[in-house]
Structure 1
Amino acid sequence: MEIKLIGIQGMPLVERGDDIPELIVRALDFSGQELMDGDIIVIAETIVSKAEGNTIDLNKISPSEKALEMAEKTGKDPHLVEAILSESADVIRVGHNFIVSETRHGFVCANAGIDESNVSEGLATPLPADPDLSAERILRGLTERSGREIAVIISDTQGRPFRVGAVGVAVGVAGMAPLWDRKGERDLYGRRLQTTEIAVADEMAAAASMVMGQADEGVPAVIIRGYRWDHLKADGGIRDLLRPREMDVFR
């Protein structure tokens, strides 16, 4: 199997109201490329939130007493802390320069997924309000324009328990199931797999992150080509990847 990662070059800085499928198709046309059947398009969550007008003006936030206390403990801007609290369903851990919380979507991550990079000074972007719905809209727009059978993943960069560094993870998905349940299949020695489930959408997001970069690369969307995902053509959403709270051994 050969898998290609193709960064979509030439996309402009995204603003509120922009049509992301149209921007992607234009950028591909300009570079002489096109979508193919079986492509998986991974899109950075920041441009999705920006296009949807889902940004936070930190200067217009009035920090609460709780935010001020937490800012003192963490060393973070109290305006940012208040934004984190507003996007959180539960605060998990707080320490010097970090706040780990559970977002309203159910993601456990730093700063409730709020990102201050690749956005104008004083602004921040939370995760899309409904990442699966956002992915579905983008999928519909790309399918209408290309006529191709494709899938869409919206990705974010997050840290992991017990590991240093951040990797790309999926926060929204459309057109494919994000999880590959292989329980019952046999390994090389004929033993049946008992617990094996593969977070394919996360693997795709991590791979695409190598091309997107985290600074000024200017590649907010990546095509993954060559991975056969026929076995993933099933209904499902990003919640399939969220570990049930009663099985969460990290809290």
Structure 2
Amino acid sequence: MTPGTVLVLPVDGLGEVTAGDDLAALLVAAPGSPRLEDGDVLVVTSKVVSKAEGRHSDLPKEAVVTAETDRVLATRADTRIVRTRHGLVLAGAGVDASNTAAGTTLALPLDPDASAVRLREALLDLTGRNVAVVVSDTAGRAWREGQTDIAIGVAGLQVLDEHAGRDDGYGNVLAVTAPAVADEIAAAGDLVKGKLSRRPAAVVRGLAARVLPPGEHGPGARALVRAESHDMFGLGAREAVLAALTADAASVRGFGAPATARVVAHHLGVLVDGEVLVAGGAPATVDVPLPSVDERALGRLEARLTAAAFALGWRAGSGTDPDRLSFVEATQ
């Protein structure tokens, strides 16, 4: 192969996979399976992994989605965008009712990274070849139509290509660029797998430099899951408003890490059109002087201040001065 060339090869003839099947053996024995080479990356859809692991259910789909949900991010009509037990953000928790027996659904593997490790080790035993494994699933993207495949389980692969600290060739030092290699490979594999071809696996060849030695499985796809404290889009727009107005500040999720006292003071100061005081110490407090207005207007203002503080990760404190409201971080 010419250096820099990447080939994506289909795995044909796998046939139906059922609970308890040896998926590695089926993949190797498939009549249309390319002979594996050291440094290949096998991309396999989560659906056949779930089938082999017996993740079927005959419960109603909505019940399975609820069981697989850590929390709901957004709901529109019958669609629920949720954070799963794995930390993935997917429509319907990735629960699938297609390409499975009528009346049943398939949930994602319990631990997709562990599934990838088991499959990688089995392939090494069967073929003697050192390959990486990517377990893929379909996901939508915020702000864009359509779906693409992403990596939800990985073994034996560098999942991120960290560019931070590198020079871009023009003398600019890169700070945050980190291509999600495992997701790119999952998407490439889907170009030959397809959704209707009953072809659930592909081999990506030409990326041997990114494949780890036998026995070294890497951080897995969990390394691609952004921590909730760093998430700027942890709730849908409607849900964020409703949460700020109705939720318990002690259990806030979806708004990211608490804002700094200075940021809170700025936003609350805009609401009262005046100066807001920040007091240091442990915990720091933000004190909001209240204007002299009638009781009804004051109640509305206090409600707006409390909702804004909640959205910023703060809650009402224990201040006793009737002329001001005090706020502290919700984690305090």
TM range (shorter): 0.7 to 0.9
TM-score (norm 1): 0.87
Q: Equivalent residue for 2:156?
A: 175
Q: What CA distance in whole angstroms lies between the structure 1 residues aligned with 2:120 and 2:201?
A: 13
Q: Which residue of 2 aligns with 1:243?
A: 226
Listed as ranges, the gaps of 5+ residues in structure 2 are 235-332
Gaps of 5+ in 1: 59-78
Q: What do the CA deviations read for 1:130-180 (whole angstroms, capped 9, x no partner)? A: 001100010011011111111000000110111111100000000113112
**Structure-2 separation of matches of 1:31 and 1:103:** 34
Secondary structure of residue in 2 paired with 1:168: strand
Equivalences, count? 228
Equivalent residue, structure 2, for 1:11: 14
- Alpha-carbon displacement from aligned partner over 1:10-45 (angstroms, at most 9, x marks no partner): 101100111111011101xx3473100110000000
For 1:224, which of 189, 201, 204 is the aligned residue? 204
Superposition pairs of residues 170-209 of structure 1, within 5 angstroms: 170-209=151-190
Aligned partners of 2:176 and 2:9: how far apart in 1?
Answer: 33
CA distance in 1, matches of 2:56, 2:32: 30
Higher relative contact order (CA 8 A, sep 6+): 1
Partner of 1:46: 47
- Give me the whole-angstrom Cα distance separating, in 1, the residues matched to 2:224 and 2:86: 12
Distance, in Å, in 2 between the alignment partners of 1:89 and 1:241 is 18
- Rate the CA distance shift 1:153–1:32 in 2: closer, same or farther, 3 A: closer
What residue is the counterpart of 2:101 in the other structure?
120
Following TM superposition, the consecutive aligned residue runs of length 4 or more in structure 1 with deviations greater than 6 angstroms are 231-234
CA distance 1:32–1:114, change in 2 (3 Å):
closer
The answer for the alignment partner of 1:152 in structure 2 is: 133
Give distance in 1, aligned partners of 2:32 and 2:172. Answer: 48
1:179–1:232 CA contact under 8 A, matched in 2: no
Q: Aligned-pair distance for 1:97?
A: 2.7
**Contact between 2:12 and 2:33, CA under 8 Å: does it hold in 1?**
no
For residue 232 of structure 1, report the CA deviation from its aligned partner: 6.2
Q: Is the 8 A contact 1:155 1:172 kept in 2?
A: yes
> Against the structure 1 CA distance between its residues 37 and 80, is the aligned structure 2 distance closer, same or farther, given a 3 Å change threshold?
same
Report Cα offsets for 1:48-99 as digits up to 9, x if no partner.
00001111113xxxxxxxxxxxxxxxxxxxx222211111010111111310
**RMSD of aligned C-alpha atoms?**
1.5
